[in-house]
Structure 1
Amino acid sequence: MLKKRWLMMLVLIISLSTGCDKQFYTIHQDHSKVETFSQQPKKEVINKENSKKDTTIREKSVKKEIKEVTIAAVGDIIFHKWQLWRGYDAATDSFDFTDTFQYIQKYLHEADYVIGNLETTLAGKDNGRILRPENAYKGYVGFPCFNTPEILAKNMKDAGFDMVSTANNHALDSHPEGAIQTLDYLDEQGIDHVGTYRSQEEADTLFRKTINGIDFAFLSYTYGTNGFEVPADQPYLINTLDMYNEVKIQAMLDKVREARESGTDFVIVSIHFGNEYFNYPNVHQKNLADRLFEAGADVILGSHPHVLQPFEIRDIVNDDGDTRKGLVIYSLGNFISSQRYTKPYPSQTDIGVIFEMTFKKIEHHKPQFTGISFMPTCTFRDPEKLTILPVDEVLNHVSDFDIELGDYSRGRLTFTQDYAYQHLLSYTTASYNYKDYRYSIAFH
Structure 2
Amino acid sequence: MNKKVLWGSTIVVILVFTASALLLSQFRSAEDTSGENRPPIPHSTIQSALKEKTYTSQAVIGAIGDVLLHNTVYEDAEEGGTYDFMPMFQDVETFLQSPDFMIANQESLPGGAHLGVSSYPAFNSPYEIVDALQKLGVDAVTTANNHTLDKGAKGALSAISHYEEIGMPYTGSFKNEEDRKDIRTFNVNGISFALLAYTYGTNGIPVPQGQDYLVNLIDLELMKSDIKKAKELGVDMVILAAHWGNEYERYPNDTQKMLARELTNAGVDLLIGHHPHVLQPIEKMTTEDGREAVVIYSLGNFLSGQEGELKNIGGIANITVQKVIDENGKRISFPEIGFQPTFVTQSRYENYRILPLNAAHQSGLVSFPEEEMVSHVMSNE
Give TM-score, length-normalised by structure 1. Answer: 0.73
Contact 2:361 2:368 in 1 (8 A): no
Amino acid paired to 2:304: S
Aligned match of 2:136 in 159, 162, 170?
A: 159
SS, match of residue 338 in structure 2 = strand
Q: Match of 1:207? A: 184
Separation of aligned partners in 2, 1:416 and 1:193: 34
Aligned match of 2:155 in 163, 178, 189?
A: 178
Q: Match of 2:306? A: 339
Within a 5 Å distance, the mapping from 1:20-35 to structure 2 comes to: none
Question: Mind listing any 5+ residue stretches in structure 2 that lack a counterpart?
Answer: 1-20
Within a 5 Å distance, the mapping from 1:119-138 to structure 2 comes to: 119-127=107-115
Q: Match of 1:359? A: 321
Offset at residue 204 of structure 1 (A): 1.4
Offset at residue 317 of structure 1 (A): 3.1
Give TM-score, length-normalised by structure 2. Answer: 0.85
SS, match of residue 385 in structure 1 = strand
C-alpha distance 338-261 of structure 1, shift in aligned 2 (>3 A): same
Please say if 1:253 is aligned against 2:224: yes
Separation of aligned partners in 2, 1:46 and 1:385: 81
Taking only aligned residues, the RMSD between alpha carbons, in angstroms, comes to 2.7
Separation of aligned partners in 2, 1:187 and 1:126: 17
Offset at residue 234 of structure 1 (A): 0.9
Contact 1:122 1:150 in 2 (8 A): yes
For each residue in 1:191-248, what CA deviation from the matched residue of structure 2 results, as whole angstroms up to 9, or x when unmatched? Answer: 211100011111112211111211101110000000111111212111013xxxxxx3
Please say if 1:420 is aligned against 2:362: no
Amino acid paired to 1:424: V
Separation of aligned partners in 1, 2:210 and 2:357: 47
Question: Mind listing any 5+ residue stretches in structure 1 that lack a counterpart?
Answer: 1-34, 128-138, 242-247, 342-346, 397-404, 429-444
Structure number with larger C-alpha Rg: 1
Amino acid paired to 2:263: L
Separation of aligned partners in 2, 1:207 and 1:276: 28
Query: Percent identity, aligned pairs only?
Result: 34
Amino acid paired to 1:359: V
Offset at residue 120 of structure 1 (A): 1.0
Amino acid paired to 2:112: G
For each residue in 1:94-115, what CA deviation from the matched residue of structure 2 results, as whole angstroms up to 9, or x when unmatched? Answer: 2111112111111111111101
Please say if 1:288 is aligned against 2:259: yes
Within a 5 Å distance, the mapping from 1:190-229 to structure 2 comes to: 190-229=167-206
Within a 5 Å distance, the mapping from 1:20-419 to structure 2 comes to: 41-45=27-31, 58=48, 61-62=51-52, 66-89=56-79, 92-127=80-115, 139-241=116-218, 248-318=219-289, 323-341=290-308, 348-364=310-326, 366-369=330-333, 370-383=335-348, 384-393=350-359, 405=363, 407=364, 409=365, 412=366, 414-419=367-372
Separation of aligned partners in 1, 2:112 and 2:257: 37
Separation of aligned partners in 1, 2:53 and 2:24: 39
Contact 2:227 2:268 in 1 (8 A): yes
Separation of aligned partners in 1, 2:24 and 2:118: 92
Work out which structure has the larger RCO, using CA pairs closer than 8 Å and 6 or more positions apart in sequence: 2
Separation of aligned partners in 2, 1:55 and 1:184: 58
Contact 2:144 2:172 in 1 (8 A): yes
C-alpha distance 41-256 of structure 1, shift in aligned 2 (>3 A): same
Q: Match of 1:244? A: none
SS, match of residue 209 in structure 2 = coil
C-alpha distance 37-164 of structure 1, shift in aligned 2 (>3 A): closer
C-alpha distance 240-42 of structure 1, shift in aligned 2 (>3 A): same
Amino acid paired to 1:44: A
Amino acid paired to 1:279: R
Contact 2:89 2:354 in 1 (8 A): yes
Contact 2:108 2:148 in 1 (8 A): yes
Q: Count residues with an aligned counterpart.
A: 350
